[in-house]
Amino acid sequence: KNQVEQSPQSLIILEGKNCTLQCNYTVSPFSNLRWYKQDTGRGPVSLTIMTFSENTKSNGRYTATLDADTKQSSLHITASQLSDSASYICVVSPTGGSYIPTFGRGTSLIVHP
């Protein structure tokens, strides 16, 4: 069964600090992994998308890594801002078949001043 596990479930940090969110998956065969940021009551916004051959991808203060061998990904947020408070969702899509993506349950990040 395809699964995406995220940790931690929630995280509280001070403004200006860095943090790293984890995503482990069992989706196979693997097509791509995406990180989304979702504010409460809003639609998810894409941060990065990574395919099998990509190890690192950055989008401003967000840097995602992918280890396709160990089926792990991380999202590193640098110099956090209050506006980074949101849920961060890892989504993994298979190749072939139905292409239905599997969503993680998300990490809830709260940035305090």
Partner 1 sequence: DTEVTQTPKHLVMGMTNKKSLKCEQHMGHRAMYWYKQKAKKPPELMFVYSYEKLSINESVPSRFSPECPNSSLLNLHLHALQPEDSALYLCASSQGLERNTEAFFGQGTRLTVV
Contact footprint for partner 1 (CB under 8 A): 31-32, 34, 36, 41-46, 49, 51, 89, 95, 98-101, 103-106
Report whether 91 contacts 34 (CB < 8 A).
yes
Q: How far is the CB of 16 from partner 1 (least distance, A)?
A: 27
What count of other Cβ atoms lies within 10 Å of the Cβ of residue 27?
Answer: 21
- Residue among 18 and 59 whose Cβ is closer to partner 1: 59
Q: What is the DSSP string of 93-113?
A: EESSTT---EE---EEEEEE-
Least distance (Å) from partner 1 to the CB of residue 100?
6
- Which residue's CB is nearer to partner 1, number 7 or number 18? 7
Q: Which is nearer to partner 1, 15 or 49 (CB)?
A: 49
In the complex, least distance from residue 109 CB atom to partner 1, rounded to whole angstroms: 14
Report CA-CA distances (Å) from 27 to 1, 4, 72: 8, 7, 11
